[in-house]
Structure 1
Amino acid sequence: MRLASFNVENLFNRAKAMNLESRSEGKPVLEKFAKLNELLAEDDYSDTLKQRMINLMIELGLEKSDEGPFVILRQNRGGLVKRPRTGGLQIVASGRTDWVGSLDLIQAPVDEEAMRNTARVMMDLQADVLAVVEAESRPALSAFNTGIVGGLGGIPFAHVMLIDGNDSRGIDVGLMTRESVSIGQMRSHVDDRGTNGQLIFSRDCPEFELLLPSRERFLLLVNHLKSKGFGTPAASSARRRLQAERVKAIYEELRGQGEKHIAIVGDFNDTPDSQALDPLLKGTDLRDAFEHPSFDDGGFPGTFGSCTAANKIDYLLLSPELFEKVTAGGVLRKGLWPGVRPKRWDVFAEVTKPVEAASDHAAVWVDLDI
């Protein structure tokens, strides 16, 4: 059985701000969007709070219209803002219950060739079980599976599953499997909370029971841990560590129940030497598939961007029993932009410029004799 994980990134639409040529351009937009949404959710709007909201709206291009270049303010019933003819903005609501609507990110289609290259990666992987990161929804993932993978001549996956997580941008984790591997029971951890009462997972840590032809029981946990892109490095690292600690606890609970075949996979957004991932990488008996003698990293230790050791952020963690069943493994970089001076690895002929890359991430895979 081939198990793979891939941060698909360019699947269908995504926030327009995330499609900018440089991530540094989109990051401030997303941070201001998140902060304004946080303020809009307050029960009472003080004068100070209103001014902060107005400042953010102006910075987001909402001074003259409900639609800015990257965000849209939907005022369905009850007014939030007024725009006097003399100019400026006024917050007329006194709290969240005074108006009905939302602040949303404007969506934009990704480059079509990038979308097709994402499908080509999935086709080349030939995975029986594929964990996907940064997919919008089950309908979108299912439509991509049949319309794009199938449209390019690939064999669509038989089963597609995705549970909505905590990310308001619709960036979730999901699963695609072949006919031979059906999806059994599922368990979501979307509501798991820390001691401070805050949600632990940025998306979710779903548990999928996989029913194999061999009748072996296989449990797969798919993760996308807190990124380094938003908030201070210390706060982001602390959040990832909290998430890693919770994943460890879930894993140990399953081991305590006698489960032997467990894999924890996905984009962990940190390197093996990071303290944030210590609970998983040093505090359990999980083994990284990259450490197996039969695993071929293609001459590059990383999985993201330039694939240096500092960019090893995608993982296939296996229980000891699964690690013993590994027969091969590797990193598929054919959809990842290789650079030009020099070209680091071979890619699809259709990847001629960065915007056509399937993702900023390579796909990782492992073959298991199970």
Structure 2
Amino acid sequence: MDVTVGTFNLNNLFSRFNFRAEIQEILPTGEDGRDDGRDDGRLTSSYEFKDPKEFRIRTYKGRLVKGITPEEQEMLARRIIGMDLDVLAVQEVEDIDTLRFFVARRLRKAYPFLSLIEGNDPRLIDLAVLSKFPMGAVTSWQHTPHPELPGERVFSRDLLEVEILDPRDPDRHLLTVFNNHLKSQFVDHRQDPVQGKIDNDHLRTLQAEAIARILAARTRPDGRFVLLGDMNDTPEAPTLAALAAPTPQVALEEALAHPVETRPPKPDDPPPPASGSWTHRFKESHRPAEYELFDQIWLSRSLTSRLKSSHIDRRTRHAGDGSDHDPAWVVLEF
């Protein structure tokens, strides 16, 4: 049996609404729209928010938080349906209701098993796992500290651990997925750019070290697990050294060194890496584009021998098709 497991940053998959509000009371109305004094359960057809205390526009660092458009959601859906993966770890989803709506409406109910736990990000972007196979235990590691930061949560969002069960025998554990979204490289314009990068890199380093300790505590040397997600750095970066360095307990291998691309990348100057090993394109004004493998799939020792192939669904536009990340996946033989 072949099992496909992948990762995709959905780039602000938010709900259709862009505000939070509290409705104290809605009175029943007559046909003329005025309160008719009855309490028969009929409600007004609309409610007008006049008191600023009753609503709050969703902002982040002074900017309005906006989700992707319905057209971009359709692009994401087409890509996900086209990949037809058994298990898909996703990042940047607002909440479980948004995910359920997206799966039911856009993905034609292709994934009957969903898991999302609200995490730490103030922008409301959470981690989730979609699966065609039954799920077992689900664990959030969002409260995890680091010895260097004993009183703080080290993860900007979360580390979401999900057990995937064998569809042929739901009592049998198939593999475990560890979904990640590490600290962004973004530096706010109000920060010093040099110090901002140093701080981001340092936090990403602590997060990778925390992941390595969790894996050592939660897995066996012969365990079948996949560590994947948006790492916001390259596999060989010093910030991710804790993942790349093998230990007696945990030895990981990144699986996207030479992926199969679904289509050739768009021409660029300079051109994208010939290996195809990239999922993220960043282009500053008047500077050449940078292509990086931010979305990664690390396999445990026992799964490396089961790897049949790795793949990346290549975008058709430089800006991306619904997301500024390209999804990646592996085919494992069981």
Q: Is TM (by shorter chain) over 0.5?
A: yes
Q: For the Cα contact (< 8 Å) 1:166–1:201, is it kept in 2?
A: yes
Q: For the Cα contact (< 8 Å) 2:139–2:161, is it kept in 1?
A: yes
Which structure's residues are more often strand, by fraction? 2
Aligned partner (choices 219, 222, 227) of residue 264 of structure 1: 227
Residue 272 of structure 1, CA deviation: 2.1
Residue 260 of structure 1, CA deviation: 1.1
Map of 1:301 onto structure 2: 277
Residue 173 of structure 1, CA deviation: 0.7
Map of 1:44 onto structure 2: none
- CA distance in 2 between counterparts of 1:210 and 1:309 reads 35
Q: Which amino acid aligns with 2:295?
A: D
Report 1:231-242 matches (<5 A).
232-242=196-206
Report 1:1-370 matches (<5 A).
1-13=3-15, 75=53, 104-105=58-59, 106-150=64-108, 156-178=110-132, 181-195=133-147, 196=149, 197-213=151-167, 215-230=172-187, 232-256=196-220, 260-284=223-247, 285-291=251-257, 295-297=259-261, 299=274, 300-305=276-281, 310-333=291-314, 336-339=315-318, 354=319, 357-370=321-334
Identity rate of aligned residues, in percent? 28
- CA distance in 1 between counterparts of 2:105 and 2:57 reads 31
Structure 2: gaps (5+ residues)? 19-50, 189-195, 265-273, 284-288
Aligned residue for 1:198, secondary structure, equals coil
- CA distance in 2 between counterparts of 1:144 and 1:103 reads 23
Residue 291 of structure 1, CA deviation: 3.6
- CA distance in 1 between counterparts of 2:290 and 2:17 reads 29
- CA distance in 2 between counterparts of 1:211 and 1:337 reads 35
- CA distance in 2 between counterparts of 1:225 and 1:108 reads 21
Structure 1: gaps (5+ residues)? 17-72, 77-100, 340-353
What's the CA shift string for 1:13-53, capped at 9, x where partnerless? 4998xxxxxxxxxxxxxxxxxxxxxxxxxxxxxxxxxxxxx
Aligned residue for 2:71, secondary structure, equals helix
- CA distance in 2 between counterparts of 1:4 and 1:252 reads 22
Q: Which amino acid aligns with 2:244?
A: L
Q: Which amino acid aligns with 1:261?
A: R
Map of 1:347 onto structure 2: none
Residue 109 of structure 1, CA deviation: 4.7
Residue 309 of structure 1, CA deviation: 7.2
Q: For the Cα contact (< 8 Å) 2:134–2:165, is it kept in 1?
A: yes
Q: For the Cα contact (< 8 Å) 1:224–1:268, is it kept in 2?
A: yes
- CA distance in 2 between counterparts of 1:171 and 1:235 reads 21
Q: Which amino acid aligns with 1:166?
A: N
Q: For the Cα contact (< 8 Å) 2:68–2:322, is it kept in 1?
A: no
- CA distance in 1 between counterparts of 2:316 and 2:122 reads 28
Q: Which amino acid aligns with 1:122?
A: I
Aligned residue for 2:280, secondary structure, equals coil
Distance 1:74 1:311, change over 3 A: farther
- CA distance in 1 between counterparts of 2:294 and 2:66 reads 27
Distance 1:117 1:102, change over 3 A: closer
TM-score, structure 1 normalization: 0.66
- CA distance in 1 between counterparts of 2:52 and 2:180 reads 32
TM-score, structure 2 normalization: 0.72
Which structure's residues are more often helix, by fraction? 1
What's the CA shift string for 1:148-185, capped at 9, x where partnerless? 122xxxx521111101100121101100011xx11101
